[in-house]
Amino acid sequence: MLKKLKKALSHEYIYEKDKYYEIFLNKDLVFKGVKTLKENSDLLFDQLIDITAVDYPSNELRFELIYIFLSMKKNKRIVLKTLIREDSGIETITPIYKSADWYERECYDLFGIKFFNHPDLRRIMTDYNFEGYPLRKDFPLTGHSEVRYDEFEKKIIYEEVKLTQEFRDFDNVSPWEGIPNLLKGDEKSEETDNEGN
């Protein structure tokens, strides 16, 4: 299978892992590579399992976009990876795999990765007024705003989160340190500890 993959994709950066293959492609070659994976009779990766990403904020190519495919006929998996800049995007693969529609929307919603020529690229998991991309490493843990329903006004209220670090009191003392390890009814162990000191 490894030789067939290298021949079909004309690419040497294909690795055989424990139970799957891994390939790294330039983002401009992803659409053509995915089409080959699905349509080549020696490969037949007919099922898209997932599309996800990893954020590396200190890298020039900030996002590693990861596609996972399965060949039902060959009982093989392949992980296709590519790198993308924060300010660029990549061509959608929805013409090849219809299921890519929601996966690409998730990557857009949670990471901000743009998919060119996507039929409906909009938020899918967060609110339409949501600011930022929650799976980026630079996104604050508490978010930028919180949403609540106001029973008195009978509407949804957006409020900024007010948790500035300067005014927060962090207690770094562990509640488990300094507590004697005593069992109820085990007074003899306390006497033994005191005798040893």
Q: Which residues contact 84 (CB under 8 A, 6 or more apart)?
A: 27, 61, 62, 63, 64, 65, 90, 113
Phi-psi bin for 67: left (phi > 0), alpha (psi -120 to 50), beta?
beta
Amino acid 155: pLDDT: 87
Neighbours of 149 (CB within 10 A): 9
User: Average pLDDT over the chain, rounded to whole?
Assistant: 84
CB of 46 closer than 8 Å to CB of 38? yes
In terms of Cβ atoms closer than 10 Å to its own Cβ (0-12, 13-18, 19+), residue 163 is exposed
Q: Strand, coil or helix: what is 26? A: coil
Question: 131-180: per-residue pLDDT in tens?
Answer: 889 999 988 777 777 778 889 888 888 888 776 555 555 555 555 555 55
Which domains can be identified in the chain, with CATH numbers? 2-131 (3.30.460.80)
Among the residue ranges 7-11, 59-63, 73-77, 163-167, the one predicted with the least confidence is 163-167
Q: Encode pLDDT of 17-38 as tens digits.
A: 888 999 999 999 999 999 999 9
Characterize the bridge pairing of strands 76-84 and 21-24. parallel
The residue among 78, 82, 48, 50 whose CA lies nearest residue 65 is 82
Structure tokens at 73: 């006929």
State the pLDDT at residue 130.
Answer: 82
Confidence (pTM): 0.75
| pLDDT tens track for 45-67 | 999 999 999 999 999 999 999 99
If we measure between CA atoms, which residue out of 32, 28, 1, 37 comes closest to residue 16?
1
Cross-strand partners of 78? 21, 69
End-to-end CA separation in angstroms for the chain: 69
Cβ pair 89, 115 in contact under 8 A:
yes
Q: What is the pLDDT of residue 106?
A: 97
Using CA atoms, how far residue 125 sits from 63, 101, 110, 160, in Å, is 20, 13, 8, 20
